[in-house]
Amino acid sequence: MWFGFAFVALGFVAGQLVGLSATSLATSLLGLLFAFGGGSAIAVLKNLEGADRIVACKGIFLLSVGCLAGIYAGIYMSQHQVFTPDRTVAAARIKSGETPYLRKNVTAAALAVDQRKANRDLTAAQAVDELVDIADRAKQTADAVRSRQKRGVISDQQAYDELFAFFSGE
């Protein structure tokens, strides 16, 4: 029992570190996990017999499940500002667009405004102002791409690709 709990806890802590991180820890952490899993736990499997092999496989499985749960929990906590005690700080972070895990596109920005209005973080007038700002940014981007397309600076396909990337958040 303690064996399984230890592997779940280790995976959950590793996942939390990745999920809560503002920078990408994933490459470093995944390298360490694969070194652990491939270099020790899995390599030892060939020397194990029956019941011991099952226990080792359960440990690897529990580590993986714990890591996945930790990553999702960390992302949720980061995006919903669980550790931010002041709601105005959380609202300012969301307004600034500082959401590293969520796609940034026009629809998502509008939905974020709607969510903040529903949470009573914005008045209707403030929400209208923010939606108009989002629409203005979209119009400016579209006008700039159209202008470059008409002047022959970019092809029709390049104009399409740029606009699609802007609206889809890619």
Listed range (124-128, 148-152, 160-164) with the worst mean pLDDT: 160-164
Amino acid (1-letter code) at residue 94 = I
Residues 96 and 160 placed together within one structural domain of the fold: yes
Identify the pLDDT of residue 103: 45
Gap between the Cα atoms of 84 and 8, Å rounded? 27
Question: What does the pLDDT look like over 60-82, one tens digit per residue?
Answer: 788 778 878 887 887 777 776 67
| Residues 96 and 164 occupy one common structural domain | yes
Confidence of residue 125 (pLDDT cuts 50, 70, 90): very high
Same domain, yes or no, for 75 and 91? no
User: What's the rounded mean pLDDT across residues 127-131?
Assistant: 89
| Average confidence (pLDDT) over 46-57 | 78
Q: Which of 45, 61, 79 is the last residue of a domain?
A: 79
Please check whether residue 100 is in contact with residue 22, taking contact to mean a CB–CB distance below 8 angstroms.
yes
Is the confidence at residue 121, as pLDDT, over 50? yes
Query: CA 106, 168, 95 angle in degrees (round to 5)?
Result: 35
**102 and 71, same domain (yes or no):** no
pLDDT of residue 27: 65
Instruction: Report pLDDT for 170.
Output: 56
One domain for residues 68 and 92: no
Residue 19 tokens read as: 């999920």
Show the CA angle centred on residue 13, arms to residues 7 and 17, nearest 5°: 145
Q: What is the mean pLDDT of residues 84-103?
A: 51
- Number of domains forming the structure of the chain: 2
> Highest mean pLDDT range out of 13-17, 100-104, 112-116?
112-116
pTM over 0.85: no
- Selection from 125, 89, 129, 131 nearest residue 112 by Cα: 131
| Closest by Cα among 14, 11, 15 to 58 | 11
Q: Where does a domain end: 33, 50, 79?
A: 79
* Pair 142, 160 in one domain: yes
Question: Domain residues for 114?
Answer: 87-168
Same domain? 10 vs 55: yes
Percent of the chain with pLDDT over 70: 68
Same domain, 95 and 125: yes
Tens digit of pLDDT for each residue in 14-36? 777 777 665 666 667 667 766 76
Which of 62-66, 67-71, 88-92, 102-106 is predicted least confidently? 88-92
Q: Counting beta carbons within 10 angstroms of the beta carbon of residue 166, is it exposed (0 to 12), middle (13 to 18) or buried (19 or more)?
A: middle
